[in-house]
Amino acid sequence: MTESTTEDLRIERVFDAPRELVFNAWLDPDQLSGWYGPEGYTVPRESVIVEPREGGRWELAMVPGEGGGEHPLRSEIVELVEPSLIVIENEEIPDHGIGVTRTRVELHDEDGKTRLVLIDGPYEQRMGEMAGMGWNGAFDKLAVIIA
Protein backbone atom coordinates (compact mmCIF):
# COMPACT_ATOMS: atom_id res chain seq x y z
CA MET A 1 0.00 0.00 0.00
CA THR A 2 2.95 2.29 0.61
CA GLU A 3 4.23 3.53 -2.72
CA SER A 4 7.04 5.70 -1.53
CA THR A 5 8.91 5.65 -4.84
CA THR A 6 6.07 7.42 -6.62
CA GLU A 7 6.64 10.35 -4.29
CA ASP A 8 10.32 10.78 -5.04
CA LEU A 9 11.29 14.15 -6.31
CA ARG A 10 12.55 13.98 -9.92
CA ILE A 11 14.26 16.82 -11.74
CA GLU A 12 15.99 16.81 -15.13
CA ARG A 13 18.39 19.43 -16.35
CA VAL A 14 20.75 19.70 -19.33
CA PHE A 15 24.12 21.31 -18.68
CA ASP A 16 26.32 22.62 -21.46
CA ALA A 17 29.34 20.77 -20.08
CA PRO A 18 30.86 17.31 -20.43
CA ARG A 19 29.89 14.64 -17.90
CA GLU A 20 33.33 14.49 -16.27
CA LEU A 21 33.04 18.14 -15.30
CA VAL A 22 29.56 17.71 -13.82
CA PHE A 23 30.60 14.52 -12.05
CA ASN A 24 33.60 16.21 -10.43
CA ALA A 25 31.49 19.16 -9.30
CA TRP A 26 29.63 16.75 -6.98
CA LEU A 27 32.78 15.22 -5.51
CA ASP A 28 35.35 18.02 -5.30
CA PRO A 29 35.04 19.75 -1.87
CA ASP A 30 36.32 23.07 -3.25
CA GLN A 31 33.61 23.07 -5.91
CA LEU A 32 30.86 21.82 -3.59
CA SER A 33 31.46 24.61 -1.10
CA GLY A 34 31.03 27.02 -4.00
CA TRP A 35 27.71 25.92 -5.44
CA TYR A 36 25.87 23.55 -3.11
CA GLY A 37 24.47 25.82 -0.40
CA PRO A 38 20.89 27.13 -0.81
CA GLU A 39 20.33 30.86 -1.42
CA GLY A 40 21.35 32.79 1.65
CA TYR A 41 23.56 30.00 2.95
CA THR A 42 27.24 29.28 2.70
CA VAL A 43 28.97 25.93 2.81
CA PRO A 44 32.28 26.36 4.67
CA ARG A 45 35.06 24.58 2.83
CA GLU A 46 36.26 22.95 6.07
CA SER A 47 32.81 21.39 6.60
CA VAL A 48 32.99 19.41 3.35
CA ILE A 49 34.20 15.83 3.59
CA VAL A 50 34.04 13.66 0.48
CA GLU A 51 35.51 10.20 0.28
CA PRO A 52 34.94 9.44 -3.41
CA ARG A 53 34.21 5.72 -3.21
CA GLU A 54 31.25 3.48 -2.46
CA GLY A 55 30.84 3.45 1.32
CA GLY A 56 32.68 6.77 1.62
CA ARG A 57 31.40 9.83 3.47
CA TRP A 58 29.73 12.76 1.74
CA GLU A 59 29.22 15.48 4.30
CA LEU A 60 28.91 19.23 4.50
CA ALA A 61 27.27 21.94 6.57
CA MET A 62 25.04 24.75 5.37
CA VAL A 63 25.37 27.93 7.42
CA PRO A 64 22.73 30.66 7.17
CA GLY A 65 24.18 34.05 6.21
CA GLU A 66 21.88 35.72 8.71
CA GLY A 67 23.38 33.75 11.58
CA GLY A 68 21.73 30.94 13.47
CA GLY A 69 22.47 27.25 13.64
CA GLU A 70 24.17 25.41 10.84
CA HIS A 71 22.45 22.57 9.00
CA PRO A 72 24.73 19.57 8.81
CA LEU A 73 24.14 17.11 6.00
CA ARG A 74 25.63 13.70 6.68
CA SER A 75 25.48 11.25 3.83
CA GLU A 76 27.21 8.18 2.54
CA ILE A 77 28.06 7.38 -1.05
CA VAL A 78 26.27 4.12 -1.83
CA GLU A 79 26.84 3.95 -5.59
CA LEU A 80 29.55 5.60 -7.61
CA VAL A 81 30.15 5.04 -11.32
CA GLU A 82 32.45 7.53 -13.01
CA PRO A 83 31.30 9.62 -14.78
CA SER A 84 27.66 8.61 -14.92
CA LEU A 85 26.17 7.89 -11.49
CA ILE A 86 26.33 9.14 -7.92
CA VAL A 87 23.93 7.85 -5.28
CA ILE A 88 24.20 9.15 -1.74
CA GLU A 89 22.18 8.08 1.25
CA ASN A 90 21.23 10.91 3.58
CA GLU A 91 20.96 10.53 7.32
CA GLU A 92 17.49 11.09 8.71
CA ILE A 93 16.43 14.56 9.84
CA PRO A 94 14.09 13.90 12.79
CA ASP A 95 13.36 17.62 13.28
CA HIS A 96 11.68 17.66 9.88
CA GLY A 97 9.99 14.29 10.27
CA ILE A 98 12.19 12.95 7.46
CA GLY A 99 13.61 9.45 7.47
CA VAL A 100 16.58 8.19 5.52
CA THR A 101 16.50 9.52 1.95
CA ARG A 102 18.57 8.87 -1.15
CA THR A 103 19.77 11.37 -3.69
CA ARG A 104 20.44 9.75 -7.06
CA VAL A 105 22.33 11.77 -9.65
CA GLU A 106 22.41 10.23 -13.14
CA LEU A 107 24.57 11.87 -15.78
CA HIS A 108 23.71 11.06 -19.40
CA ASP A 109 25.90 12.19 -22.28
CA GLU A 110 24.03 14.05 -25.02
CA ASP A 111 26.48 15.09 -27.74
CA GLY A 112 28.97 16.56 -25.32
CA LYS A 113 26.29 18.06 -23.12
CA THR A 114 25.09 16.40 -19.94
CA ARG A 115 21.54 15.53 -19.01
CA LEU A 116 21.35 15.34 -15.23
CA VAL A 117 18.49 13.30 -13.78
CA LEU A 118 18.10 13.86 -10.06
CA ILE A 119 15.87 11.57 -8.03
CA ASP A 120 15.54 12.49 -4.39
CA GLY A 121 13.46 10.90 -1.72
CA PRO A 122 11.29 9.41 -0.47
CA TYR A 123 10.45 12.65 1.24
CA GLU A 124 6.89 11.90 2.08
CA GLN A 125 6.37 8.23 2.40
CA ARG A 126 3.03 8.94 4.06
CA MET A 127 1.86 10.75 0.95
CA GLY A 128 2.20 7.36 -0.73
CA GLU A 129 0.02 5.81 1.93
CA MET A 130 -2.52 8.55 1.41
CA ALA A 131 -2.66 7.78 -2.29
CA GLY A 132 -3.22 4.11 -1.47
CA MET A 133 -6.08 5.07 0.82
CA GLY A 134 -7.91 7.01 -1.83
CA TRP A 135 -6.73 10.12 -0.09
CA ASN A 136 -5.91 11.84 -3.35
CA GLY A 137 -9.49 12.80 -4.08
CA ALA A 138 -9.85 14.41 -0.68
CA PHE A 139 -6.52 16.07 -1.16
CA ASP A 140 -7.69 17.60 -4.43
CA LYS A 141 -10.63 19.10 -2.60
CA LEU A 142 -8.29 20.39 0.06
CA ALA A 143 -6.09 21.97 -2.57
CA VAL A 144 -9.11 23.92 -3.77
CA ILE A 145 -9.89 25.01 -0.21
CA ILE A 146 -6.31 25.99 0.48
CA ALA A 147 -5.84 27.90 -2.77
Contact set for other proteins, span 97-136 (CB under 8 A): 97, 116, 118, 120, 123-124, 126-127, 129-130, 133-135
Length of the chain counted residue by residue: 147
CB 114 within 8 A of CB 108: yes
Count of C-beta atoms within a 10 Å radius of residue 137: 8
Q: Does 35 bind other proteins (CB under 8 A)?
A: yes
For the bound state, the minimum distance from the C-beta of residue 39 to other proteins, rounded and expressed in Å, comes to 6
Euclidean distance between CA atoms 106 and 84, whole angstroms:
6
Segment contacting other proteins (CB under 8 A): 48-56, 72-80, 82-90, 91-99? Answer: 91-99
- Residue 45: CB partners within 8 Å, gap ≥ 6? 29, 30, 33
Residues in contact with other proteins by the rule CB under 8 A:
7, 9, 11, 13, 15-17, 21-22, 25, 31, 34-36, 38-39, 94-97, 116, 118, 120, 123-124, 126-127, 129-130, 133-135, 138-139, 141-143, 145-146
